[in-house]
Structure 1
Amino acid sequence: MVFTWLQLAIFIFMLSGLLFAGGPLILSWIIAPRAKGGDMGMPYECGMRPHGSAWTRYGINYYVYALLFLAFDVDVLYLFPVAVHYPHAEGISAFVKVLIFVSVLAAAIIYFWRKGVFTWPRKIS
């Protein structure tokens, strides 16, 4: 099989792409310090030694709030392209679609509110 210039260029670009992606990984593995224990094993806390245990347990409410924030934040991001296209839309169909989307988000907020997700406990055990 005879290589053409195009096949040689593709091979060179693939090889350079692999080196470009894997080179820093291999280089950091070669020149990284190998020290273990001491300050290397400690969690980083603003350049200061941490006070107490760094492995504290947080209440589930922190994670629930974070997941709800991400879910509603991503859903609201869908409204930006709709708002850009909305002035160019004809008829009432665009308004109805946006109204349905916002009403589903509002229904989700009301559901979570009724389930008591937004009530913060006084003491986390």
Structure 2
Amino acid sequence: MQTWTTEMWQAAGIGLIAGVIIGYLILRLTKASVKQQVKTETELKSVKAQLDNQNEQLEKHFAESAELFKTLIGDYQKLYRHYAQSSDTLLGKKPRGLFTQQLITATDKPQEEPPRDYSEGSSGLFKPNEEKNQ
């Protein structure tokens, strides 16, 4: 085995000091990034919680709005029926057509056939050239 000389001890000491300094700098740099990462994760969790809370409030709002609309529709139907019965009672059956039973029950059942917004047969736009020339 060899004995360590003064130069070897100095080199080892300088290496140790350099290693401690480099380790300290790396620790400081990574510690700040770890703090930033923890801070970012905390903010992300906070924002997710706020978003979940907002989505829950939106669901409750629209559910309540739907229930209120159902109630409103029912009240309008009751009012319409009241007017229809009152007009029959007070005006008699002669001025028919003011309040018809068809309008009362129209909202109760869905329409059985779709509206007809198209014409019967072809329009003639796509006729073959032979027919146009004749």
TM-score normalized by the length of structure 2 = 0.29
TM-score normalized by the length of structure 1 = 0.30
Structure exhibiting the larger radius of gyration computed from Cα positions: 2
